[in-house]
Every structure is written in structure tokens, then in C-alpha cells.
Structure 1
Amino acid sequence: MTAVKQWELCDGCALGKQTRVSYMPKSPNHAKKLLEVIHSDICGPMKTSTFSGKKYFVTFIDEYSHFCVVYLLRNKSEVAAKFAEFVAFAETQTGGRVRTLRVKQLRCDNGGQYKSREMAKFCRERGIVQKFTPPYTPQLNGVAERMNRTLVECARCMLEHAGLSKSYWGEAVMTATFLRNHCPTRATSHGKSPHQVWTGKKPLLSNLKVFGCHAYVTVPKEKRTKFDARSVRCRFLGYSEHEKAYRFENSPNLRFGRVRVAFFGDWLQQLTVAGHPAFLNQPPPEDATDQEESSEPEETKEEEAAQDEYVEPGSKRHQRTRSLEEAVEIPRILERWRYADYRLEGIGLVNCTFDAAFVVDSVGEMPTTFTSAMESSNAAKWKEACDSEINSLRKNETWVLVPLPKGRKAISCRWVFRIKENQAGEIERRLVAKGFLQKYGIDYEETFAPVAKFTSIRILLSLAAKYNLTVHQMDVKTAFLNGWLDEDIYMVQPDGFIDEAHPDFVCKLKRSLYGLKQSPRMWNQTIDKFMLELGFKKCEADHCIYVKRNDHDMIFVALYVDDLILASNNDELLKSTKEALSKRFEMTDMGQLKYFLGMEIDQDLTAGKVSVRQTKFAKDILEKFSMEKSNPVKTPQDPQDSS
């Protein structure tokens, strides 16, 4: 046979038989010290978001130590900000006295979140080299891809073992990261744990607990009475990122908190795993006495707050025991607890590791931020309410998204939540601009706006009783949005509703918004002008009381911000006025007046009576101060005695 001197490429074979070149099992070039190479990848979106609305998580892995840092995200656009946060954390924690270590290289895929202008600008300013993998080659980003798989598998197993819903995946992933950083691995030198290589210190493993297990947390004596339960039963959900503390959930009220000391028992964890929930429903053990029996000198609050060491199992503090007595019903604790001075004492089977104080972030109360609302047990209702508010704002063309002009500052905004003071106790939300950031002469000038006086409202109700007037109530939806602004005001996008296509844009307000200093005035001017157009005249004694007369027919309108009281002796006149208002503004017709400014109002036209009471307000006061079961005191006059 004639020897083939040169290999010739066959076009047909190349098109029909070509395969991918195999990848090298390991890269020959490894990082020689910390922060030389950082690997990153994002995982998500998850079909089920966390209680705080997170749908993604991003990992940053140091190649030398294999130490992993995880951040939970709502949107992919947050990756750049989280990378900047990671760089600041890593360079501070790993730097020495002589020289500070710097992140040199970031390896990631071609995702848009890694190629954004914000990410490119940050890396360019810090001198960080970005190395992207070619499309459809996850093998070249193997460190981050494998880390994500490890964390997801571990989190999935922990959720199944604990019997928790998928909404807890964020807690499970953070716990999996903590455990993985503290476990030895062959990927590091001499089989050390990533935590040891990263910090230079051996990790303390005595504080590790079973994810999802139950534990008892002491109620501070300031928050309980003599015969209240001494502790509450919580579920362990991992470890705090910034404190030597555990993370717990108080399941009945879905409140999350951080605890630096708790009662854990191996016997309790074993029964939890074995599936004996009946035992866990029993009340927790209670101390027999209120005073601590300790021969150790009492430490000051400052000394206890400064303690960082763990309480090792087997120590004297761990082995001290106390007599037990039957516990009473666990109370529902509504107050927010901050760092207080109270210590837990161990009992025989309890494995205590942390020591100091107890912190609870209550989300069972009225939420104060959008995040806390999404973490509450009523998250679905709050989300629906927020969606309705945003839809109203967009329908009303309240703002337009624009880049922030140079030399201008955008004011912030926040969500305000409350339970509306009516018979149904409906929830209410408002997107409020932080008007205190406005500057006089630039963002606003005049701000005064009147409201109806309480005296005027009571007089109006008296007239209704005397002349048999039908009294109805209307509410203006997003009233302040009806006023047009004369000034150029810029506001940041609201939490939970940031435009993914333009996350850096701001809202240029076209209409007034709740919280702006001039909003009440602009709204009052708008509705005042309309009422005069309808033929109403303002009362000289109260400019928020409007009167209209047609021969023997008359109608009164009382204006209190966005709530209107209409009283008339002619049903057709009342109906036409309500139709005119509804045509001009987006109104809610609430029918006959029953509840106004905390007052419950009953009208009996046949008897010519209007009764006013504050039953719900009084009950709320009693509940607030835990006086529901207190003995009542008689009024000076018997209500049944009409004489």
C-alpha cells in the first residue's frame, strides 16, 4: 500500500462525525494563595421564593481555600452589588497587618449579570480580571457549577429530613454553605476545612445542630409574668451570618430571630427524626425558682456582650442542673426583643454552646418594610395590596422612568402598612416618598392643606339626626396622585418593583405622591376646585365643609384628606353628587356611614337618632395593655337610664 504522507480533511466527515474535544480533568494552574482566583455562578430562578421574596442565590468560591460565600437574591441584577460586597468582605477578613490581599481574577459564565456595566466598571476600577467561559461550556466553570450542585443537594436533603416546605430553601442553602465551609475536604492542603484555610483557625464543631430540629429559647423575665412559661419552642434554621448565634423560627407566628443560647437535647433531636410530633407538642421545661443559683460573680452587661467564646460541652456551666416543675401554656410574645441581659442555664441532657443574649425580629406584628411584609404570615395579602397600589400609580401615570440628571439627588421612598380602622379591620398600604429629604425652594414651597374639624363633623351628624339626612361615605383611591406637580422631583424605584430592564433609572414624578410635602396641598386644591365647579359653597367657619342648596333640597360634604362624608335630605341629589365625584376621581362608594376616624356610627332615620361609639378602639386599647379580663368600672350614669 502507498503510505499516506499527509492527512487530508474530508468536509463530509468533519460535518458528520465531529465531536467535542474532551476536557482536561484538572487545570494545571492553581491559585497559590487566597483571593487569586474567585469562581462564581448563579442558581435559579426557583419556582418557590423564600419568605423574603428571594428566587436566586449566587456563590463566590475562593479557588485556593475553597471557602464559599452565598448571597440570596431577588433579581439577577443584584449580582454586581453582591460581588462588590463580597470583595470588601474578603479583602478585609483575609488581609494581614503588613499587606492586604486583593481579589485578582473572577471566573464566571457569560451570563448578562456578569457582563453588566456596573460589574465591568467595578472590576475595571479594582483591577480585577474577568474571565468568561465560552457559551454552552459549563465544564470550564466547574468549581462554581459543582459547588451549586453540592449546596442544592444538601439543602434538598435537609428540607426533606426536617419536613419543611420549599419556602425554606434559602435557610437550607445558607446552612449547607456553613456546614460545607466547616468540613474537611481533599481539595485543600492536608485535608483542612475551607474555614481553617480562610481564617487560619480551626473551626469549632461543638455548636453544630440538626437543621429543622426543635429547641427551647428562654423568655426574658421582663416579658413574662410569674406563672407564664419560661421559654418558647422554636425550630432551628441555621446559623447567623454576622453573630455567634443560631437562627430560629417561632412557628405559630412565623417569626424569625437570632439566638445566641438555646436548649438543645440529643434526645429531643432523635425523637424529632424518629417522627414523634406528639412529644414536641408538650410544653417546655420550666425552672423551679426565679433566682439564679450560681456561685460565679455577676458580670456586667458590657462584659457579657463582649464575650465571644463558646461554652464547651462538659464544662461546669454545661453540667449544672436545676429542678423542674410543670410548665404552663406558652404565651404569644408580640414585643420586639433586643439584646437584653439574661442567661440560660444548662440541664442534664442539654447541649448548650452559645452564651449571651436573645434577639427576635418580629414579623407577626405590623410590617414596617416591604421585606418584613413579604416575610410575614400575611405575605400574600400584603403582596396583593402592594400590587394594587403600583397598578394604581401606573394607571395614573404618576411617574416616568428616566436617568437621574447630573447635579440632582433622588429622594427615597418606603412602603407603609397598617390595619385600617374599620369594622372589618382591612389591611391598607401606601407607597410614601421620604419628603423630609426635599429641599425648600427646590422641591417644594407651600405645604399647608386644611382638613375638616372634629367639631364640624359632630355638628354635621347632629344636623343629620335633627333633619333626617341620609349620611353616606366615600373614599378617594390614591387621592394624592390626582395633584399635578409644578416642580421636578426624582425618586428611587420602590422596593419589590424595580424595573429589571432599567434598574439604575429613577422615577421622575409627574403627579404628587404620599409623603411629599406639597402633596396634601395639591390634592386639596384639586378637589376644592372641582367642588366649586359642582356648585358647592365653602363654609366660612370650616373650609372643608361644602354646602349646596336647591330650593328645599340640601347636601353637605365634609372632606377629611381622602375621606368624604355626604349628608342630604334628597336621595337623587345624593346619588348625582356621588356619580359626579366618581366620574372625576377614582372613588370607593362605602354606602351608609358606619365607621369614620375610629368612630362607629349608627343612624336610625325613623327615630331621628345618630349614635356614636368607639367599641373597637376601646377593645384595641385593652388588648394592647393586656387588660381584656380586668374588672370593668361603671360609668357615672347607667346607659339604660334615659332620665
Structure 2
Amino acid sequence: PFSTGCLPCIQGKTQATPHPSVRSRAAAPLDRIHCDLVGPLPPTLRGHRWHLTIVDDHSRNGWTILLHNKAQAKQAIIEWITQVQLHTGRKLKYFHSDRGGEFLNSQLLTFFRHQGIMFSFSNPHSPEQNGVAEARNKSIGRITRTLLEQASAPLALWGYAVLHATLLNNLVPHALLEGKTPYEAWSGVKPTMRRLRVWGCTAHVLQNKSERQASGGKLGPVTKTCIHVGINPHGPGWLFLDSNNKECPSSDAVFQEHAPHHASIPPSDSSPTLEWIHFDHPSAPPSSSSSSAPINAPPSAAPPSVSPSLAQDPRDGAPHEVDSNSEEGVGAHQDAPSSAFPSAPQALPPLRRSTRERHPPTPYWIIPPKPSTTESSTPDSASTSDACVTATTPPEIWALLQTIANGESGDKRLEIPTPQTWQEALGGADSEEWFASMVREYNGIKDSGTFEEVPRPPGANVVKSKWVYRVKRRPDGTPHFKSRLCAKGFSQKLGVDYLETFAPTPRHTTARLLLHLAAKLDLLVHVMDVDQAFLHGELEEEIFMEPPPCMGVDLDPNVVWRLKKPLYGLKQAPRQWHTKLKGVLQEMGFQPAHWDPSLFLLREPNGMWVLVYVDDLLLLSNSTEQLERFKATMLKHFPMKDLGEINTYLGMQVTRDLSKHEIHLSQKRFIQSILKRFGQEDIRTYNTPLAVNHNLTIPQPGDPVLPDQDRFPELLGSIMYLMVCTRPDIAHAVSVLSRFVAPGRHGCEHWKAALRVLGYLKGTSDHTLVLGGTSDISLQGHSDSSWADDQADRKSSQGYCFSIGSGVISWKAGRSPSVALSTCEAELYAATSAAQESIWLTGLLNTLGEPQTEPPPVLWCDNQSTILLTKDAVFSGRSKHIEARYFFIRELVQQRRLRTAHIAGHLNVADIFTKPLSQEDHHRLLPLLGLQAPI
């Protein structure tokens, strides 16, 4: 009937065609790879909820990359391909996966076309067509579950387990490889098992000097008790978790592989039902039906390296390990390679069958009760083997596993992934918290009368809406889930939906100046936060907006919101909020400062300063009664949170030393978040931000191409915020890298230079900017220039900084506006720029009641000729061409509004803003900037 074209028969009897197993494989490594994504899974300790599986078709060698969300998959694939091609010298020819949105997207397909990589995708709902990757997921899932079960490990450790399972899978001979392992087929080196230990076993790791000092010094224990969670992926030895959930890579450890750290619990009717983690999903629908994800989220960790050092002598860089069962004792060292596995083969010991009675496995999220040391063991209460097991359980391991299982430490120490869409927010592990925060936001908008529902006006411009999420940290480190309903302001039309948009925001220099004076004068410093600040403004235009998605109701397409008050995202919302707040403050007697309109002053005997940064209010006063009166009045006008004495402000951690009249600013948490976001937690540290002999230029044809051009400006923007707030020591590095931020102007060398800055920040993350002190409040500055150092256009690097005691409050690094013909001219450009900043700072200090008239501020410069030009109209052939505007500084000197003076070059702190310095010179100038390392 099929051959005759019988339509009812075709419609009623057609069956799916069989999928025969394909036994052929690619001819060489990287000829074809298979890829698949697994998740979402319960969050790991580090917040990962997905893992990416990559399998080479020829060798069947596999890789696993942990991800926070699906959006990171495409960037992880690009980085993996780039890295593996570089290390092997081969080019990937063919890429195959299912039709998930993480694979079938424009960014990844564009990368494939540029690299000349052929690609194919399985048909919808046909996981059999991606069988190589699916089979690997099944195998990895089985091993992972087994590892977790045998160690009674908490679910949050599945990330370490799946990486270790991938490693083990690569060491098992494969049926298609004629007895070879995938690892050997990929690398050409036979692996051995010298570095393999029982995953999840107790290990006693040798402590470093500082740890030993903290735990009793020479008389204290030389080791700390940890959990073994795999091979160290970035060096010799193994990876461990200590009692604080901190990763501890080490080559010196004693393993207790045959003394499990858990007790066997007999099954009971009250035991919870075992629920497996489903790593393999051959029958699951393809991920193409899942919600879309952002395209700019970076991968959480760099893909594993394919290192040629696998073939080195096993004795080179060998980790030191002591077998707890050996007769050689603590002094015995066992050789192992510094790479993933040694090159020389080694026979496995014969399998040993245990005579202990077997019990059904305990679910991995159930931690057995800690054995009591006071109860006596009897033959009736426990078997002899079980009693031996519990007697060897270290208390640190019990505490750590219980903490991980209960999730007590995760919220305080580990980063929580930020969802990009409401589907991600309500489909993740923190869905209850996100939904509660969305309800709070919606109710706040509704209760404040921000909108009214109206029929959709014909022909009107209707603005779209979007949920935006953010995790903030309370002072005690616990997370605060914050959802914000925003309008998509980019869809507004000028002249229809908005007119004026400007709203002032304060300079960070103003905040640092106020904190310096507060420390010096012993002022009280408090912080308040306005809830849903933009909702309190008043709209002057008629704006219609689509109702927000996902609020538990079916949306009527014919109903829209007419906004009565601004929402976040509207172009005029900041301006309308500032206008409203300014009116309230002026009613209370405050007036905006001329030199910074975001600073409001109350001129009374017990006066007060208020610095407004959008919805954050910084309050400074010498009177507790004045502060309380101000807070009470503000609470009558706006719903606000009184955060009390300052401890964080604009992402800076603020600590105060009243005895020394000092305030310390730090951004250690932000540095750690950058390292986490770009997968650089293990980056090496550097002693300086830039290499002294760096030679960054625009990439030329043939130079290595950076796969994702958006990563460089994203990283540079994060580093720049650190520079603007608390880190003047990286100002020159940021200035240099910013010259290459435009598309096509940066490549791999610029990315490496940015990572070097990040490595320097990692090594100095504990440094604080110290403000205040006991010295006089007298303004002084330093300026400097490096003549014609830009090889591209021969412009000069220049910079300045100003201080009024210990710690700089203002700084800048940049380039001269035009080419200078001499060092004198270049120094004059720098001094003129510094003089402009001096006028602004002097005016602000005068407004705050700290006049800088007699003597006037001093500007230090290390060029005598420049100083002469600022004092007198010296005319010569070398200076006659300099434009008149650069002698603005001469007028200030003649009016006694500024002094210029000479300083020796090695004492000029502005030198750090003009050139990369040696390690010695760089760290010599840090204290002069007010940057203080922890004692």
C-alpha cells in the first residue's frame, strides 16, 4: 500500500526509521567532535548548574566544562576549540550536536564559519542522532552517582565528581580503540594510575607556614583534615576541600582510602526515597524548546588544557604523597607527574573483595549522624567493621559535610548565579526567593499608584517591560534577592515619550573627599537607601507600557499600563526622581553645592552634608540628633532603609579606625567576583599591572584573533570601575588598554595584558585606600608626563593626583591632547590638566568650610623648565608655538590660586600614572598613594 500511494495507509502505518549503530569513526583527532549540554542540576558549591560534554570522535576522549547557566555554553565551546587547536596544532574539521539554542545561535555559527569548521545538528526530538555525546553522558552519570554514593557526599559536590568521572572514563579501554584508552588514542601516551586516589576519601594535607602558625605553631599539627575531590587540574598533586569549603591544591598529603569518613546506615521505613541525578537524558526532549538565554555571559571556568607535558618523565615535578598503609611512614614520598597522568604505564594491583556485610547505599544528601564517643559499642548495636569505620571519622570532615548538605555556608560565602530572564529565575534553585522578590516589587509598584490599566490606544507607542535581577550582600554576607521591573527605554521616542533626561550624579572624588574630612573631623557617617526610588517622581509625558510577564495571570493583549510615575528604564526616570528629591531636601533647608549639584548642604551650627547617588544617600554630621531628625523627616516622604553607620558604599567596603582618624576603602569582594565571572580564580599573580617592556599595538593581519571581541571591553570595564573607586595604582594600565577597546583594535595580546592586570589585582586584593589621618587639611598635587611614549602617534602619557593628607582623593591618567615637541611641553600639558582639577577641588573645599587660600595649593612637578613657564612669560624658540590655553596655569600662579614647585623625579608619585614601573619602584610609590597592604 505504501508503494501505491495510499494516503490513509501512509498516515496510519508510517513508523520511525531505525537508527543503526554507527561503528565507523573519524580518521584522526579533531576531525569530528560531538557536544551536548546536561542540566539544570542542583547547584554546586560554586553555583554551577550545567555541564558541557565534548567528545572527540576518533579517540573518544572526553572533556567536561562546568557552567553556571546555558548561556555560557557557546563561549566555553569557542574557548575550548581555540585552546585545543593551539595545543595540538590540529584544526577542528566538523562539529556535531543537538539543536539546542546554546549550539544553534548566530555567535557560535559565525565563529564556525570564520574558522572553516563544518557543523551539523540532529533533528528535533532525535537524541539518537547525537548518540556519541548522549552515551558519554550516560557513562559519566553512572560514574558520578557511584562516586557520590560511595563517599556519602552531599549533592553540592557533584561538580567535582563529574570532572573526576570524566577523567576516569578517559582511562578505561574503549571497544572501538582495540584495547587502547581514549586518553592514549588522543595523546599517544599510555596513562598510569599513580595519582588516582579514592574519590571523597579523607586526606591529611600538609599545612603551609602561615596555617601552621595559626594552628599552634611548631607544637601544633602539621596537617589539616580535608576531603579528596580529584586531581589538581592546574598543577601537580591533588585537589582537596578543607573545613571552610576552600579548595586546597597540594602535592603533600596522607590519604586514608580504606577508612571511609562516613558510617553505613541500615535502611529503614523512614529513610527518604533515593532520587537520582539524571545526567543522561536519551529520552528527554531536545533543549531547543527551552527559553532563550543571554549571549554575553562568560564561562565559569576555562576548559581543560591539552598539555604536551603529559609525556614528560614522571619524576619531574612529582607530588609527594604518603600512603597511610605503607611501612615507610611519614617520610616516604611517592613520585607522580606534574601533568594529568604520568607517561610510563603501571600495572594495576589485583582487585580485592571485601568481606564486610553490604547494605543498600545511602542517599548522597543524607549525612550519617556523627558517632558518639561516649556510647559503648556492643555486638548487638553495631558490627565490628562499622565500629571501626566510625571510630576513624575526623570531626572536621563531619562538620564540613554537614555544612555542605545543609547549605549553611553557601549563602554566606559562595556566589549565587544571577538569572537573565524570568524563566531562569523561576526555573532555578532559588526560584522561591526570586518569586518572593518579584511579588514585593510588583506590590510596591501597584501600591504606589504607578500605573493604571487602560485599553491599548490605537497607534500609540507601547514600551516593552523586562525583569532585571541582582543579588546583593547584607553586612553579614547573607544574600538579598532583588528584582526590578524595568521599562525598555530604548523603545521610547524622543519628543513623544520624553524630552529632557539629564540627572546629576556625584563624582567619586566628592565621596572620597567627604569621607576624608569625616575621618579627620570625627564626623558621623550613615547611609540610607530609598526603596523603589524612581517610582516617586512625577511623569510629565503620557507613556504606555506592556504589563510584565509572569505574574500568575493571563495577559490580555488589548490591555496596557498607562504610567503615572516613572519606572526604572525610562529615559527621564532619573531626572524626575532627582527633581522630586531635590524639592524635599530644599524644603528641609538644604541647598545643592555649586561645585557638585549632587551634594546638599545644611548650613547650621550642627550642620549636615548629604551626598545623593541615585537612591543611595550618604549622610555626614557631627550631631546624632541632626541625623535622627533628618531620617525621621525623610521617612515621612519616602519608604527608605536606614542602613546605619557606613560599612559598604557603591560597592566599596568601608572600615574605620577612630583611634587613627582613618577610613579604609577596599573592593576585595568585587575583585573576587571579577575573577569568578571570567573564570580566572586560579590565575597567577603579578607584582605590577603592566610589563615594563610591553609593546601593545593594533592587531595586524595574521595575528591571533580573539574569538569573542566583547570579552575584552567587558573585563576592562570591570577593572576600570576598580580604578575609579579605590585603585589609582592601575590607572596607567587602564589608560593604555582603553586605547584598544574599539572592535578590531584588540587581540590576544591585549587580552593577556588585561589578564595580567587582573592577576595583579588578585595578588593585591587586600590593599586598602587610606583616607583621613592627623595631618593638616592642605591640598597638594603631583603631575608628570612621559614624553612621546605612544609609538602609534607619538603623543605623551600624562597624569596627576591630589591629596589632603594620607591617601589620594583624586587622580587621572591619560594622554596629552596633542603631540609635544619637548619634555617641557609635555609636562606643561600635564600640569595644566592638574591645575583644572585643583580649581575644582579648591572650590569644593571652600564650600565645605575648609578654605585653601593661604597658602594656596601646591602642585609638584619634576621639570624645572615647566615650572619656569608657569611663573613667567619666558619666550623661546622651543615654546613659542604652545597654544595660549596651556598658560591658564600661569594666570593661576600669578593670582596666587596655585603654587608650582619642583620635586625630584624618584619622589614624584605621579610617575606611576605615566609609565609601567619596575616592581621596586611600583611598590615604593604605593604607600605615597595611600594604598596600604594588610599587616
Q: How does 1:142-541 map to 2 (within 5 A)?
A: 142-188=131-177, 190-223=178-211, 224=213, 225-250=217-242, 252-264=243-255, 268-272=256-260, 275=263, 308-310=316-318, 320-321=328-329, 345-346=331-332, 353=336, 378-379=413-414, 420=475, 448-449=509-510, 451=514, 453-454=517-518, 475-477=528-530, 530-536=584-590
Secondary structure at the counterpart of residue 475 of structure 1: strand
Q: Deviations over 1:592-616 (max 9, x none)?
A: xxx7458xxxxxxxxxxxxx9989x
CA–CA separation in structure 1 for the residues paired with 2:67 and 2:477: 31
What is the match of residue 15 of structure 2? Answer: 19
Q: How does 1:27-176 map to 2 (within 5 A)?
A: 27=23, 29-46=24-41, 48-95=42-89, 101-176=90-165
Q: Deviations over 1:483-541 (max 9, x none)?
A: 99xxxxxxxxxxxxxxxxxxxxxx9996999xxxxxxxx9999967743332347999x
CA–CA separation in structure 2 for the residues paired with 1:481 and 1:308: 62
Secondary structure at the counterpart of residue 96 of structure 2: strand
CA RMSD of aligned residues (A): 5.5
Q: Aligned in 2, Cα 1:321/1:169: closer, same or farther, shift over 3 Å?
A: closer
CA–CA separation in structure 2 for the residues paired with 1:13 and 1:479: 64
Following superposition, the deviation at residue 8 of structure 1 comes to: 2.9
Question: What is the TM-score with the length of structure 1 in the denominator?
Answer: 0.55
Paired residues of 1:161 and 1:273 also in contact (CA < 8 A): no
Secondary structure at the counterpart of residue 201 of structure 1: coil
Following superposition, the deviation at residue 253 of structure 1 comes to: 1.4
Following superposition, the deviation at residue 69 of structure 1 comes to: 1.0
Secondary structure at the counterpart of residue 253 of structure 2: coil
CA–CA separation in structure 2 for the residues paired with 1:568 and 1:314: 64
Following superposition, the deviation at residue 558 of structure 1 comes to: 5.1
Following superposition, the deviation at residue 419 of structure 1 comes to: 7.1
Paired residues of 2:171 and 2:182 also in contact (CA < 8 A): yes
CA–CA separation in structure 1 for the residues paired with 2:620 and 2:234: 53
CA–CA separation in structure 1 for the residues paired with 2:127 and 2:523: 76
Following superposition, the deviation at residue 258 of structure 1 comes to: 1.7
Q: AA paired with 2:32?
A: V
Q: Deviations over 1:567-596 (max 9, x none)?
A: 99999x976x54542355552247xxxx74
CA–CA separation in structure 1 for the residues paired with 2:123 and 2:592: 73
Following superposition, the deviation at residue 202 of structure 1 comes to: 0.9
Paired residues of 2:522 and 2:622 also in contact (CA < 8 A): no
Following superposition, the deviation at residue 228 of structure 1 comes to: 1.7
Following superposition, the deviation at residue 556 of structure 1 comes to: 5.2
Q: Aligned in 2, Cα 1:380/1:446: closer, same or farther, shift over 3 Å?
A: closer
Paired residues of 1:218 and 1:262 also in contact (CA < 8 A): yes
Following superposition, the deviation at residue 54 of structure 1 comes to: 1.4
- Does 2:637 align with 1:564? no
Say which is worse superposed, 200-209 or 531-540, in terms of deviation. 531-540
Q: AA paired with 2:30?
A: L
Q: Aligned in 2, Cα 1:457/1:525: closer, same or farther, shift over 3 Å?
A: farther
Q: Aligned in 2, Cα 1:199/1:538: closer, same or farther, shift over 3 Å?
A: closer
Q: Aligned in 2, Cα 1:381/1:181: closer, same or farther, shift over 3 Å?
A: closer
CA–CA separation in structure 2 for the residues paired with 1:511 and 1:379: 37
Q: Aligned in 2, Cα 1:321/1:560: closer, same or farther, shift over 3 Å?
A: same
What is the match of residue 603 of structure 1? Answer: none
Paired residues of 1:62 and 1:68 also in contact (CA < 8 A): yes
Q: Aligned in 2, Cα 1:204/1:524: closer, same or farther, shift over 3 Å?
A: farther
What is the match of residue 743 of structure 2? Answer: none
Q: Deviations over 1:252-295 (max 9, x none)?
A: 3121222233112xxx3222178389xxxxxxxxxxxxxxxxxx
CA–CA separation in structure 1 for the residues paired with 2:338 and 2:93: 39
- Does 2:641 align with 1:588? yes
CA–CA separation in structure 1 for the residues paired with 2:136 and 2:318: 29
What is the match of residue 602 of structure 2? Answer: 546
Q: Deviations over 1:135-168 (max 9, x none)?
A: 1211111101100111111101111111012111
Q: AA paired with 2:197?
A: K
Q: Aligned in 2, Cα 1:511/1:233: closer, same or farther, shift over 3 Å?
A: farther
Say which is worse superposed, 7-16 or 50-59, in terms of deviation. 7-16
Paired residues of 2:152 and 2:262 also in contact (CA < 8 A): no
Amino-acid identity (%)? 22
Secondary structure at the counterpart of residue 44 of structure 2: coil
Secondary structure at the counterpart of residue 260 of structure 2: helix
Q: Aligned in 2, Cα 1:523/1:51: closer, same or farther, shift over 3 Å?
A: farther
Structure 1 runs not aligned, ≥5 long:
96-100, 278-305, 323-344, 357-372, 403-414, 432-442, 462-472, 485-506, 514-521, 549-553, 599-611, 618-643
Following superposition, the deviation at residue 31 of structure 1 comes to: 0.7
Q: Aligned in 2, Cα 1:187/1:570: closer, same or farther, shift over 3 Å?
A: closer
Structure 2 runs not aligned, ≥5 long:
266-313, 340-407, 419-429, 451-462, 483-503, 538-567, 648-655, 662-935
- Does 2:64 align with 1:10? no
Q: Aligned in 2, Cα 1:458/1:311: closer, same or farther, shift over 3 Å?
A: closer
Q: Aligned in 2, Cα 1:226/1:216: closer, same or farther, shift over 3 Å?
A: same
Q: AA paired with 2:18?
A: S
Q: Aligned in 2, Cα 1:200/1:401: closer, same or farther, shift over 3 Å?
A: farther
Paired residues of 1:40 and 1:108 also in contact (CA < 8 A): yes
Q: Deviations over 1:161-187 (max 9, x none)?
A: 110121111111110001111222222
CA–CA separation in structure 1 for the residues paired with 2:129 and 2:591: 77
CA–CA separation in structure 2 for the residues paired with 1:275 and 1:119: 48
Question: What is the TM-score with the length of structure 2 in the denominator?
Answer: 0.39
Paired residues of 1:213 and 1:269 also in contact (CA < 8 A): yes
Q: AA paired with 2:34?
A: H
CA–CA separation in structure 2 for the residues paired with 1:614 and 1:460: 11
CA–CA separation in structure 2 for the residues paired with 1:560 and 1:148: 55
Secondary structure at the counterpart of residue 52 of structure 2: strand
CA–CA separation in structure 1 for the residues paired with 2:65 and 2:416: 27
Q: Deviations over 1:446-495 (max 9, x none)?
A: 6642537448975899xxxxxxxxxxx762358999999xxxxxxxxxxx
